[in-house]
Amino acid sequence: MTDPSNDTPTTPAAESAAREVRDDLRTKARDTAEEVKERASGFEEDQRSHVADEVSDVSNALRKAAEEMRSGSPQERTMSQIATTLADASESIRDKDLGEMASGLSDFARRNPIAYLGGAAVLGLAAARFAKAGKSGGRSGPAPEPAPRPASPTSPVDAARARDLPAQPTPTPTAASPATPAYHRPEAEDI
């Protein structure tokens, strides 16, 4: 090899040193790539195992719920079938790598587009429900309604009542009938 700036030949020692540096860099790059691949594979395995465990837990819960239902009922059969399908899916998740699962899901979507879309919708609704449950802090039931605000007073008696009494909802007047008496607005002396 020659240096183009001064056309003097390079020494064999310099060429050898450059070759060694290049080879060392290639080896280190190859080793780093292998290490990254191993870590990614380990991470994928951990995540697959975690997802498979979650699916298995859901399957077991559905199976237990099916056992508590009336034997032979359509609901019991449906829950049992779903539990069995989820148990199979859990094992499939454990046994296959990510590429195989993606390929299988793609094939299923092509063969059964309605079932695929229905399953995606159900999963989306379930995920939204879990997310909503997580935000509410685990409370169940409807949120408490805020206390109604009192109407603005129109007379001195109403103003005094608004200051002294807690806020109460104002009932809606109805037409008088034998079953429902006419609405009577309490006066200050009635309270």
Q: What is the pLDDT of residue 26?
A: 92
Residue 9, φ and ψ in degrees, nearest 5 = -70, 145
Name the region of 138 (left: φ>0; alpha: ψ -120 to 50; beta: rest). left
DSSP letters spanning 76-105: HHHHHHHHHHHHHHHHHHHHS-HHHHHHHH
Helices (H), 11-155: 12-68, 74-95, 98-111, 113-135
What pLDDT is stored for residue 20 in this prediction?
Answer: 92
Could you give the 3-state DSSP secondary structure of residue 2?
A: strand
Low-confidence ranges of the chain (pLDDT < 50): 1, 138
> What pLDDT does residue 159 have?
61
What is the predicted pLDDT for the residue at 30?
92
Angle between helices 74-95 and 98-111 (to 10 degrees): 140
Helix axes 12-68, 74-95, angle to 10 degrees: 160
Residues 90, 52 contacting (CB under 8 angstroms): yes
